[in-house]
Amino acid sequence: MEQVKVLIVDDEPLIRNALGTILATDAQIVTLDSVENGLKAVEFCQNHEVDVILMDLQMPIMDGVTATREIKSIKNSPAILAITAFSSDDYLVPVLAAGASGYLVKDTDPAEIISAVHAVHRGTAAISASVSSELVSAIQVAYRDTTQEVEDLISDLGLTAREVEILNLLAKGLNNPEISKLLKISETTVKTHMAKIFSKLEVRDRVQALVAATRMGLIEIPRDS
């Protein structure tokens, strides 16, 4: 059974202990260590093999966004799952842009935290539903690039009509099985399209694809009602 090696990064001992307790309920997850700031996280990753990091964002010495950027510059860097008490776009977009594959708030259900760890380890993404409106506001308002007509941009990127269709379904929150059922194509075909989308947008996963596509004005993420 493959083990997922996790590093916990948070300046609050209580939170580090709580996350460690949650992760210990999954036999596949091994918590390697817990550290109290971003600098120690960077140093740990330079000397140890880590699969996933649970990264707090507000910490002394080095914050989580800076640490994420530093760690993602390391060869074969681990997946990073931001986990914070704040759902503000002041933190959300910067940490995603720095290379995080997911963003959870600390009141997330323990089972969802475990699922998110496995998701980012597989190369997919995880994001709390409670921060979806902040994701919309932050990317569409602050990061959207409107310098080029969308149709021209789609052509320049080499995106097919089907790939744009899948991007829009992804923006609506559909997963691979749901997209497969709706479009009446196999899940394997969906995964193939998704891989081509990631390559053309030069991203690693679904969250980064949403960030890039929304920033460029290719899609719009529906706002929560």
Inform me whether the pLDDT recorded for 137 exceeds 60. Answer: no
Q: How confident is the model at residue 125 (pLDDT cuts 50, 70, 90)?
A: confident
Instruction: Match 């948070």 to its residue by tokens.
Output: 10
Inform me whether the pLDDT recorded for 54 exceeds 90. Answer: yes
Inform me whether the pLDDT recorded for 131 exceeds 80. Answer: no
Q: What mean pLDDT is predicted for residues 55-73?
A: 93
Domains in the chain, ordered, with CATH? Answer: 4-131 (3.40.50.2300), 144-215 (1.10.10.10)
Per the structure block, which two tokens stand in for 30? 């091994």
With 0-12 / 13-18 / 19 or more C-beta atoms within 10 angstroms meaning exposed / middle / buried, residue 39 is middle
Mean pLDDT (the chain) is 85
Lowest-confidence pick of 83-92, 175-184, 207-216: 83-92
Instruction: Match 């009602």 to its residue by tokens.
Output: 225
Q: Give residue 224's pLDDT.
A: 47
How large is the angle between the packed helices 161-171 and 187-201, nearest 10 degrees? Answer: 90
DSSP H helices in the chain: 13-23, 38-47, 64-72, 89-98, 110-122, 132-137, 150-157, 161-171, 176-183, 187-201, 206-215
Longest Cα–Cα distance of the chain, Å, equals: 51
Alpha-carbon gap, residue 127 to 138, rounded angstroms: 14
Q: What mean pLDDT is predicted for residues 14-20?
A: 93
Alpha-carbon gap, residue 112 to 60, rounded angstroms: 27
pLDDT tens figures, 162-205:
999 999 898 887 888 999 999 999 999 999 999 999 999 998 88
- Say if residues 133 and 103 touch (Cβ distance below 8 Å): no
- Say if residues 44 and 5 touch (Cβ distance below 8 Å): no
DSSP per-residue codes, 34-60: EESSHHHHHHHHHHS--SEEEE-SS-S
What single letter denotes the amino acid at residue 55?
M
Inform me whether the pLDDT recorded for 90 exceeds 70. Answer: no
Q: Look at the chain and count its residues.
A: 225
Q: What mean pLDDT is predicted for residues 18-25?
A: 94
Per the structure block, which two tokens stand in for 142? 């602050």
Share of the chain above pLDDT 90, in %: 51
Tell me which residue of 54, 223, 31, 19 sits closest to 141, measured CA to CA. 223
- Say if residues 206 and 124 touch (Cβ distance below 8 Å): yes
Q: How confident is the model at residue 142 (pLDDT cuts 50, 70, 90)?
A: low
Q: Which residues of 110-130 are buried (b: 16+ CB within 10 A; e: fewer)?
A: eeebbebbebbbeebbbbbee
- Say if residues 91 and 65 touch (Cβ distance below 8 Å): yes
Lowest-confidence pick of 77-81, 121-125, 200-204: 121-125
